[in-house]
Structure 1
């Protein structure tokens, strides 16, 4: 069985590549999906496809609608949803994806530094695991997909 893992959240660091590379190195049968990570394309897709509206407010709403087609479809198809909350920006869309995943009954893993624990307490409560580093997510995936437990150093 190929597992479908949706990687949601911040787009400014290499966390996705670290998870994908770690899963590939472990030989895991996983198909990774996620949002469009080209920030400009994601922001402008609605207006570029449907036409530029007169007000900026509608520009953002057009893009959000087009992006939601991808997000909703891939979240519904996911077996596991990993949501990364980074340091750089407020991650409202990531929190929304986590809520949708929880409402859909998806296995949810959050990924964030300890300093976000308080702000994300409700999101983390809905998650089945809270990871601090992408390599911990790989360990979780390795265990649930292949049944292989690899202890990390210091654990």
Structure 2
């Protein structure tokens, strides 16, 4: 079986690269989709493409709309949505992606540290699996791809 997985969530660690590397190393039949993880280009795309804005709200609005094209397309294409919550920043966009994935009936894997269990309990309840580290996520993907 071949899967398409969307990797959503925090952008301040190398977790996506760890998953991509494990997929390549183990020759897993998984296509990876990601959001734009370059903070500057993500924040500036709206005004760079559609023109400057004096009001920060409209600047962010333009960027969010353009970025949502990529996010929504990836969420709809994905068989599996993996959302990682880091502890450094609040990731409302990651929570939003988890909610959309749930509404679309996608298989949802959540990753976060144990201390985030209480604030993420509703998101965890919607997930098929809740991992505490990227190694566990990789093991889940390896399990899903194994022939029995």
TM-score bracket for the superposition, by shorter chain length = over 0.9
Residue aligning to 2:45: 45
TM value normalised by structure 1 = 0.92
Pairing 1:65-104 to 2, within 5 Å after superposition: 65-104=65-104
Deviation, structure 1 residue 54 = 2.0
Residue aligning to 2:133: 133
Cα displacement string for residues 28-73 of structure 1 (whole angstroms, at most 9, x for unaligned residues): 0111111000000111111111001121110000000000000000
Root-mean-square deviation (Å): 1.0
* Secondary structure of 1:109's aligned partner: strand
Residue aligning to 1:121: 121
Deviation, structure 1 residue 82 = 0.3
Deviation, structure 1 residue 22 = 1.3
Residue aligning to 2:55: 55
Gaps of 5+ in 2: none
Residue aligning to 1:21: 21
Deviation, structure 1 residue 2 = 3.0
Moved beyond 3 Å, runs of 4+: none
Residue aligning to 1:143: 143
TM value normalised by structure 2 = 0.97
